[in-house]
Amino acid sequence: MNTRSVPHGRRLRSRTVAGLTALLLPLAALVGLATPAQAAASATATYTKVSDWGTGFEGKWTVKNTGTTSLASWTVEWDFPSGTAVTSGWDADITGSGTHWTAKNKSWNGTLAPGASISFGFNGTGTGSPASCKLNGASCDGGPSVPGDAPPSAPGTPTASAVTNTSVTLGWSAATDDKGVKNYDVLRDGAKVATVTGTTYTDTGLRAGTDYSYTVQARDTADQTGPASGARAVRTTGNTDPGTGSKVKLGYFTEWGIYNRNYHVKNVASSGSAGKITHINYSFGNVTGGKCAMGDSFAAIEKAYTADQSVDGVADTWDQPLKGNFNQLRKLKAKYPHIKVLWSFGGWTWSGGFGQAVQNPAAFAQSCYDLVEDPRWADVFDGIDLDWEYPNACGLSCDSSGPAAFKNMMQAMRAKFGSNNLVTAAVTADASAGGKIEKSDYAGAAPYMDWFNVMTYDFFGAFAAQGPTAPHSPLTSYAGIPQAGFNSAEAIAKFKAQGVPASKLLLGIGFYGRGWTGVSQAAPGGTATGPAPGTYEPGIEDYKVLKNTCPPTGTVAGTSYAKCGSNWWSYDTPATVTSKMAWAKQQGLGGAFFWDFTGDTANGELVSAINGGLG
């Protein structure tokens, strides 16, 4: 049973690096930091003479945002003594008037996040050092104010209204400033969650029954930040965290989806899905050489996001410590603090490494812990998910680790990750006699795990090119099903019979269809000539496409099917997902998960059905 398709479009990518003027220069002495160079109330600029060859020198300025809010642009000004001048520069637009010099940011390096820095350089003649430095009109040494421009006053203490389980509307009286207030930073529990130009803001994605504290700070036209307002305590209505005492609603975010599919972490929020899920599995990390390893480091931590692609509308800077999907997930969690993120390892393509890894479960767990808990992104992840397809059985490759291998792996993971992290796994749904569920001791692993993602999809598809046509995600069996035991109900029942608690089983939903072509029969059970055409892969198509190009013509075993011309597809719709969620609740399951976000509509129809169906 093919339970995960190969990542679409994996390929080499090039990275564009801002070009610098390359000069071969005789290196004299390195000169250390010069005079305290001077900046805005929330930034500094420092000067270094990098090299000196007698008749000239190379100089470098470094601008650093030392404040708590982003710097939108920067301008450094300084004076050189007569006889010292700039002759060429890079990474800034440098102009001179007499002995006064001005450097302004380029279009690509003007924005600086808190703590970030940017350097620009130049070649010069003469021997003088800079003096009278200003950064954005203020002292380059981080002085407290812009000359002649007082910081804004504190806004009024926020009021809270329209408080719900997951949101609150805040309002405050305006701050005052001698040059005008530019905008306001809204802080939740001391962390900025939004910047707005007005005096109201609705904060969403909160936990039910949870206490929060809000303050507001004003910024003036020079980006000086005034004192914080008084704090407003808010308690959301309803019960506590949706991840506790409630159903799990988990979606897989695919690392490679940012390429051809153009699906980014921001889309989880813009679709409305972020407020309707509880967990995200980031997929996939690799399993190789007996260790957990990074998958695509460019997508994960290096890709620079523009403002329009970013969760919070703030662009990445070229030198910030963490970029890519991980940083975007960090921003998503800031806006939606109820969401927990797990890093998923393995999957269909990378499961071949588990056999070697579990020969030393403790060492494997240590390697995974070291990677997931790397200080650069430890705050992003709340646990680990292992997607081994399949222990002691065959998937893309075959494994013969024995029935205890999966249990031993999960026991080692729990011992290393402890009780404060989630430890989960995606597992087979093959309930056939002698099938994959019987090949491993899943019940023995259950005490060490928070839940199992039971992959109740991909039971049937055009990997059997001639058919018979059948729904790839049947909830129950039906007359004529091609293989006994290949349905959700029997898979769940088999795990329960082994001793896995129902509350630790999640029902899987595929956000895509599987289809054949050359089919003449509308009902399931027809013959075919091969896979139907798909956008990214033959025989597979997203729900968001199929709902328009091939609407359902019938249902079987709790899922939809459709015949359009000679093509035959099966896929879940909001209606069938809703009925599956009702079944999951009746069975006492822990919730549901789906593969993956990219298949849903722009307004998250299927996620909404999962959320509404589970309640």
What is the three-state SS of 465-529?
A: CCCCCCCCCCCCCCCCCCCCCCCHHHHHHHHHHHCCCHHHEEEEEECEEEEEECCCCCCCCCCCC
* Number of C-beta neighbours around residue 153 at 10 A: 16
Asked if 541 and 532 count as a contact pair (C-beta separation under 8 A), the reply is yes
Catalytic residue among 77, 389, 490, 605: 389
DSSP label at residue 255: G
CB burial string 28-38: b at 16+ within 10 A, e below: eeebeeeeebb
- Give the type of residue at 301: I
Q: What is the DSSP string of 108-152?
A: TS--B-TT-EEEEEEEEESS---EEEEETTEETT--SSBTTBPPP
Strands 168-171 and 451-454: unpaired
> Reduced to 3 DSSP states, what percent helix, strand and coil does the chain have, rounded to the nearest 5?
20, 30, 50
State in Å, rounded, how far the first CA of the chain is from the last one.
Answer: 31
In Å, the largest CA–CA distance within the chain is: 94
77 is catalytic: no
Residue 575 CA, distance from chain mean position = 28
Instruction: Report yes or no: 348 and 396 within 8 Å, Cβ to Cβ.
Output: yes
Residue type, 287: V
Beta partners for residue 505, in sequence order: 452
Q: Is the separation of the CB atoms in 442 and 452 below 8 Å? A: yes
Active-site residue list? 389
